[in-house]
């Protein structure tokens, strides 16, 4: 017995495919069997399993559990859940050695996939390739694991509320917040959470529906925040918070209706945290604004620019002992008084806490940020065989450039006008570009530099690629 996956589903940070085309129950069974085999050989034996609200998720969950138990692993089923609830189940139970969440995250309804954690660390890159190798060779462990159920919702909600410890609850009585679950898996937890929060809370789309009837659950796309923006305006709320499909990424709107992007949220979290932990290392990905890195320095922290990708950031946090990290994509990681994984519900609580501790409204905190002019993340198709080679060519050409060239993840070039970035996506056949300046003219000059480098490598900023 062996199993071969469609090669397109074994990705850098997770396993993801299209139901009925590249991903079926047999794939899920082989994923469970291979993951269980790796865990058994590493001395582990118990795996927590959860699933999101997509219509295909229960089927995949059933198959993955079959595979895990066939490898001799015991399974703890936590049921329908946001991804952070699976991470919580794994992190808070010393007897659980790994976790698998069945989720398509913010992808279209016909997609689904798996996010995994292995003995307390992210499971990505070569780990995922090993799943493919073990399945192809049929080199599986045999056994008959037991299955049990463990509801984690109530203990998870109580753990989230600890994010408000030390804050005078009466001071939050006048707070008014809007929340948009986007019909994703975080909806039920959100309803339970807001019932226990001080202040006035208005929620949208908490009913789990894998067809996403109201809007797509990706809070990094401004169009998807329109319902939340309207709610904030209509009810006169202090701010609004939105989640992606599986609850590990946050988006936000301030009281004036402005989007607070991932790096801007991190500015608020960092300012709050650095009051208590002077000198702490704060990590952000290469797509983040210079304003964030300056802000961290100004408040006594050590900014560290790192590679894009939630698994890569989590690994760097462990390596450096960083208590806080974030990405433009809305993944935020708290390891000061939390577990270090990305949890959008907890990030929502910490936004309330930061505003209270800093003594300023979220809108005031957003007002204080410098007005940078930046492009959205531009993604354009390029042949898989060229994407990394093109970045290497750009690096080689800029080797002796007078500009500041950072090669942490792709090429980030800082000039008097601001900065521009060109990097290869780890998950798609696209190049990603971004630029930021303090003036429109400066931004134009930066974009000309991007276009010039692309042209020298025989490429152009052609049709934009979607997610």
pLDDT higher than threshold 90 for residue 377: no
Domain assignment of residue 466, yes or no: no
Let me know whether 230 and 341 are in one domain.
Answer: yes
Let me know whether 76 and 125 are in one domain.
Answer: yes
Domain assignment of residue 465, yes or no: no
Which structural domain, as residue segments, surrounds residue 11?
Answer: 7-151
Let me know whether 290 and 238 are in one domain.
Answer: yes
Let me know whether 237 and 255 are in one domain.
Answer: yes
Q: How far is CA 192 from CA 58, 108, 189, 354, in A?
A: 23, 27, 5, 22
Domain assignment of residue 464, yes or no: no
- The answer to whether 425 and 387 have CB atoms below 8 angstroms apart is yes
From 98, 119, 151, give the residue that closes a domain.
151
Residue 34 sits in a domain whose CATH number is 3.40.120.10
Let me know whether 196 and 305 are in one domain.
Answer: yes
Let me know whether 187 and 325 are in one domain.
Answer: yes
Q: How far is CA 361 from CA 177, 240, 254, 328, 351, in A?
A: 12, 12, 9, 22, 10
How many H-runs (helices) and E-runs (strands) does the chain carry?
A: 14, 22
From 111, 130, 151, give the residue that closes a domain.
151
Active-site residue among 45, 105, 289, 437?
A: 105
Task: Quote the percentage of the chain above a pLDDT of 90.
Answer: 90
Instruction: State the pTM of this model.
Output: 0.95
Q: How many domains does the chain have?
A: 3
Chain centre distance of CA 351: 17
Greater confidence (11 vs 98) lies with: 98
Let me know whether 216 and 348 are in one domain.
Answer: yes
- The answer to whether 393 and 424 have CB atoms below 8 angstroms apart is no
Let me know whether 132 and 196 are in one domain.
Answer: no
Judging by beta carbons within 10 Å of its beta carbon (0-12, 13-18, 19+), is residue 34 exposed, middle or buried?
buried
Domain assignment of residue 225, yes or no: yes
Q: Which residues are CB-contacts of 267 (< 8 A; sequence separation ≥ 6)? A: 291, 292, 295, 296, 365, 369
From 340, 367, 394, give the residue that closes a domain.
367
Let me know whether 147 and 160 are in one domain.
Answer: no
Provide the token pair at 78.
Answer: 């936590």
Q: What is the pLDDT of residues 11-25, one digit of tens each?
A: 888 899 999 999 999
105 is catalytic: yes
Given this model, what pLDDT does residue 467 score?
A: 43
Given this model, what pLDDT does residue 145 score?
A: 98
Q: What is the pLDDT of residues 213-252, one digit of tens each?
A: 999 999 999 999 999 999 999 999 999 999 999 999 999 9
Let me know whether 248 and 350 are in one domain.
Answer: yes
What beta strand segments (E) does 36-126 contain? Answer: 46-51, 74-80, 98-102, 111-118, 121-122
Let me know whether 105 and 180 are in one domain.
Answer: no
Q: What is the pLDDT of residues 396-407, one digit of tens each?
A: 999 988 899 999
pLDDT band for position 106 (cuts 50, 70, 90): confident
Domain assignment of residue 2, yes or no: no
CA distance 243 to 53: 14
Angle between helices 187-194 and 153-161 (to 10 degrees): 50
CA distance 358 to 269: 10
Domain assignment of residue 277, yes or no: yes
CA distance 397 to 412: 13
Q: Which residues are CB-contacts of 399 (< 8 A; sequence separation ≥ 6)? A: 405
pLDDT higher than threshold 90 for residue 253: yes
């Amino acid at each position: 017995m062996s199993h071969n996956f469609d090669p397109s589903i074994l990705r850098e940070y997770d396993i993801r495919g299209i139901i009925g085309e590249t991903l079926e129950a047999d794939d899920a069974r082989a994923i469970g069997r291979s993951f269980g085999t790796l865990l058994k050989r590493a001395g582990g034996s118990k795996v927590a399993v959860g699933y999101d609200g997509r219509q295909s998720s229960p089927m995949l969950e059933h198959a993955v559990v079959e595979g895990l138990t066939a490898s001799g692993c015991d399974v703890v089923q936590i049921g329908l859940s946001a991804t952070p609830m699976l991470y919580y189940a794994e992190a808070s139970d010393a007897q659980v050695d790994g976790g698998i969440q069945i989720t398509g995250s913010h992808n279209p309804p016909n997609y689904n996939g798996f996010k995994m954690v292995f003995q307390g660390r992210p499971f990505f890159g070569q780990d995922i390739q090993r799943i493919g190798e073990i399945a192809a060779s049929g080199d599986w462990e045999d056994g008959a694991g037991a299955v049990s159920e463990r509801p984690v919702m109530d203990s998870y909600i109580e753990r989230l509320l600890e994010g408000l410890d030390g804050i005078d609850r009466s001071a939050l009585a006048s707070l008014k917040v809007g929340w948009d679950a986007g019909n994703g898996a975080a909806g039920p937890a959100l309803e339970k959470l807001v019932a226990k929060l001080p202040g006035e809370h208005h929620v949208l789309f908490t009913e789990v529906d894998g067809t996403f009837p109201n809007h797509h659950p990706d809070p990094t796309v401004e169009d998807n925040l329109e319902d939340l923006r309207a709610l904030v305006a209509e009810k006169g709320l202090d701010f609004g918070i939105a989640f992606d499909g599986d609850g590990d990424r946050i988006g936000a709107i301030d009281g004036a209706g402005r989007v607070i992007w991932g790096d801007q949220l991190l500015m608020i979290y960092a300012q709050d945290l650095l009051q208590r932990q002077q000198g702490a290392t704060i990590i952000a990905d290469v797509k983040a604004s210079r304003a964030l890195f300056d802000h961290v320095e100004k408040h006594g922290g050590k900014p560290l620019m790192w590679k894009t990708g939630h698994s890569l950031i989590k690994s760097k946090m462990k390596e450096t002992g960083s208590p806080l990290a974030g990405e433009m994509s809305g993944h935020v990681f708290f390891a000061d008084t939390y577990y270090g994984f990305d949890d959008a519900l907890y990030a929502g609580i910490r936004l309330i806490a930061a505003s209270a501790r800093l003594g300023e409204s979220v809108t005031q905190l957003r007002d204080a940020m410098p007005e940078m002019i930046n492009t959205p993340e531009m993604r354009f198709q390029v042949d898989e065989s060229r994407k990394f080679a093109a970045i290497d060519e750009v690096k080689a050409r800029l080797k002796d450039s007078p500009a500041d060239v950072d090669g942490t993840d792709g090429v980030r070039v800082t000039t008097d006008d601001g900065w521009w970035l060109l990097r290869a996506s780890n998950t798609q056949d696209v190049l990603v570009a971004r630029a930021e300046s303090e003036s429109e003219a400066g931004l134009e000059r930066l974009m000309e530099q991007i276009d010039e480098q692309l042209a020298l490598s025989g490429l152009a900023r052609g049709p934009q690629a979607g997610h």
